């Protein structure tokens, strides 16, 4: 049996939904998912900027203010969540390394084009 669900979404919603779907693997809190989704969204927004400059923009004070405003959480909480994402790891890979997103984390999404898919295969023994 094969099922396919197609959904048109904005980039930020894509990252939030994606992280929600794969969260049983990552075990992130709702706020950690939101902040990580926003960081991934910023990486997507600045994709045409060279990597070093993009990393500075993503982790800039203004970006943290945008996250704080988007999710209505205090700046101190945003900083604490980023620290938590630096400490939390999946398969020994932290979600944030210093001031960059760690794409070595398995299944961490990178929106490269307008159409992305996620496929699950369940094998019942």
Going along the chain, which residue ranges are E strands? 89-90, 93-94, 96-97, 100-101
Owning domain of residue 35: 11-101
In angstroms, the CA 48 to CA 27 distance is 31
Asked if residue 114 has pLDDT above 70, the reply is no
- Answer yes or no: is 45 within a domain: yes
- Answer yes or no: is 30 within a domain: yes
pTM: 0.86
- Answer yes or no: is 34 within a domain: yes
Q: CA neighbours within 13 Å on the CB side: how many for 57?
A: 15
- Answer yes or no: is 41 within a domain: yes
CA 28 to chain centre: 11
- Answer yes or no: is 53 within a domain: yes
Asked if residue 121 has pLDDT above 90, the reply is no
Per-residue model confidence as pLDDT tens digits over 58-80: 999 999 999 999 999 999 999 99
- Answer yes or no: is 47 within a domain: yes
Quick one: pLDDT band at residue 85, thresholds 50, 70, 90? Answer: very high
Asked if residue 124 has pLDDT above 70, the reply is yes
Mean pLDDT across 14-33: 92
- Answer yes or no: is 15 within a domain: yes
Q: How many domains does the chain have?
A: 1
Largest Cα–Cα distance of the chain, in whole Å? 50
Mean pLDDT across 10-37: 92
- Answer yes or no: is 6 within a domain: no
């Amino acid at each position: 049996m094969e099922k396919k669900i197609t959904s048109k979404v904005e980039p930020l919603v894509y990252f939030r939904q994606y992280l929600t779907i794969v969260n049983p693997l990552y075990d992130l809190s709702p706020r950690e998912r939101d902040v990580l989704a926003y960081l991934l969204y910023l990486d997507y927004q600045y994709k045409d900027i060279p990597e070093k400059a993009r990393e500075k923009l993503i982790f800039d004070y203004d970006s943290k203010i945008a996250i704080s405003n988007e999710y209505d959480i205090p700046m101190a909480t945003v900083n604490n969540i980023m620290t938590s994402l630096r400490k939390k790891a999946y398969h020994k890979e932290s979600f944030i390394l210093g001031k960059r997103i760690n794409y070595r984390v398995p299944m961490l999404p990178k929106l490269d084009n307008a159409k992305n898919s996620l496929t699950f295969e369940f094998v019942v023994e």
